[in-house]
Every structure is written in structure tokens, then in C-alpha cells.
Amino acid sequence: MIRLFLLLSFSLPLFASDTLAFGQEQEKEQKQESEKIPAYTIQLFSVSDTIAADNLLKEIPKEFQSQTHLYRVGKYIAGRYSQSLSSSDLNPYIEEFHNAGYKDAYIIKSTLWHMKNGLISDDANTQPKEENVEENVVESTQTSAQTPQESQNIQDSPKNTNTNTNTISSFEKSNILLKAQSAYQKGNESEAMIYYEMLLASGYTNQKIKNNLCYLYGKRGAWFEAKTIIDKERSYGKLLYAYAYGAVETRQENYYSDLSPYVMIDKSGSLMLLSGYYFEKNEDMQRAFSFYKMAYEKNPTDVYNIFSFARALDIQEDTKALLLYKNILSKVDNTHPLYAPTYKRIIELGE
């Protein structure tokens, strides 16, 4: 029984990934999205020598140093000033650089992802430590529409970030999004939640942000906050599942009392399946079996519903489990996450 219980613990994140963007799949999708988002910057110089680039960086006029950074571009190191989603935001600075002696300064188009991953310096006077690169990227994305003095007043901490979300620019929203994603990937959940909340308050309606925020609310049992978001959605199934997954993961005491009205009308059976897992984690196998069975009856074509009900029957030594396991193999190929554990169990049962 213990081994089968662990098998579900292993398989749950696999079917959760079908509706939520977590782990490597999320990181891959975020990269793909960032690669599509254009970013404009002013290139001041390009050299092949690190020491020369550092010396040139130190010569930048003081009023521009806080937003000038070094980037690796192929075999070269480029000095670039600021970053914006609109080239027009940078136009006022071109003439200033030309007057300051940087006659070759020009605006180039890149992407947020390439700007982030090419950054190799965050200070005009010192070379960065490698482990600080991700934090430095966040710092480099201050809006170029601000004066250097204004941008220096913006702090890293989310509680010190400009919270007037009705007036923030699209570039500032992208800056907050990068911070939110960075905090989420690092496991700084409280920080990520604040940034996600800021984005929603500003009118940013990306579905993954809502999913991730509901998932984090679920891990804390913050049903009221999640319900506020969920009730605004015309199609709220994924958000409910995101919250439920987080709540089950941390075994929130009020999980079922909060979600029971939704569990019974869930046509996909996903919430019933999660409820079964919740009760199994709490060692209430009678109720767990009941929900696994309901999930299967609600949607008998879903392989995860089949697998969980088969497990429940298997634990009770019911011979019907074998038929269900074989049914799964008829629906998936050997690349599917359930193929290997299902095939192994069929062999163990002597078939």
C-alpha cells in the first residue's frame, strides 16, 4: 500500500502539469514568451575585451551610469543604456549621448529574454558576481522615461514598488512581470504573490499569472482571495484546479469545506480526483476511494481518473484493477508518464 501511495504522489504533478505551468515546462514557456517580447536599448559601444569594456563603462557620464550595463553579444561585449518596450521612449536620450561624445550611439531591437540572459554587469565600477545575474536583470529594467534620479528611487522590494497600478506604463508592468517570474522560480512565494497581485490590479490579465497566484493562495489556504479572482472568470475550471492543487499539496484543513460546492459539479472529475488524493494523504482511505470512484464515473475516458481508480481497487485487491490498468495501456504510448508505472504494475500482477 505504501508503495502505491507513493506512486500517486509521483503521478499527481504529472497530470497537474496539463493545466498548470509549473517546473521545467513553465520555464520553457516563459522563455518562449520572453523571446517574443521586443526590447529596445541604446547601444553605446561594442568591444571584444572585458577589461576595455569595463574601462569604457566607467567613463560613462555619471547621470547615465545607473542604467548602463554590459551585455555579452556573441564574441563581443556591448555597453547598453536602459531598456524599453518602445523605441520612442529612448529617442530623447540619443541626442544627449551624441552631445556627450558617443556619436555612434544608436537604438537597437532585442528581446527581454536576450537582454536578461546577456547581462554581465550591474555596476559601473565593479564586475558582477555570477550568482547575481538574475537579480541584476531586474534592476536593469527600469523605465527609460524616468530621469536617472527618479529611477534610483525605485527599490527592489515589492512593498516599496510604486503601487499606483492604474498609472504604470506597459514597460513597468513588464518589469514587475520579470520580478514576479524570478521570485516564483526561486521559490520566493510571498514576494511572487505581491507582484502577481500588483499585475492583476494594473489590469494585466495573463491566464498563467492568475493560475500561479491561485496556486500560491491554495498553498496558504487563502480561499477568500482566490475566490475573488475565480468568481470574475467566465470559465474558472483551471483557476479552481490551481487553488485546489496548492491546498491539497499543503493539506489545508479547510480544503474540502471551501471547495465542496465546486467538487460536485466538476464535469472533468479533476477536483474529485484531487479530493481523493487529499483524503488519502489524511489517511481516510474510505473517503479517498469514494472520490476516486466518482472521478472515474464522471469522466471514465481520462487516463488519470482511470489510473487513480485502478489504484484504489488495487489496494483493495479487487481484480477489476487489472482491467483498468490494461485500458490505460490501450490509450497511451510508451512516452506517456503513466505508461511505465502502469506496465510495471500489470507485470507484478502476473499478466
**pLDDT computed for residue 73 by the predictor:** 81
- The set of residues, in sequence order, having a beta carbon less than 8 Å from that of 37 and lying 6+ positions away, is 85, 111, 112, 113, 174
Angle 303-315/285-298 helices, nearest 10 degrees?
Answer: 150
Domain ranges of the chain: 1-29+266-351, 37-130
pLDDT in tens, 96-153: 888 888 877 888 888 877 888 888 854 433 333 333 323 332 222 233 233 223 323 3
Q: For the purposes of burial, counting CB atoms within 10 Å of the CB of 48, is it exposed (0-12), middle (13-18) or buried (19 or more)?
A: exposed
The CATH number assigned to the domain with range 37-130 reads 3.30.70.1070
CATH homologous superfamily, domain 1-29+266-351: Tetratricopeptide repeat domain (1.25.40.10)
What is Dmax (Cα atoms) for the chain? 84
- The set of residues, in sequence order, having a beta carbon less than 8 Å from that of 349 and lying 6+ positions away, is 321, 322, 325
- Among the residue ranges 75-89, 137-151, 330-344, the one predicted with the least confidence is 137-151
- Cα within 13 Å of Cα(254), Cβ side: 10
Given a cut of 50, is residue 157 above it in pLDDT? no
**pLDDT computed for residue 6 by the predictor:** 41
Confidence of residue 279 (pLDDT cuts 50, 70, 90): very high
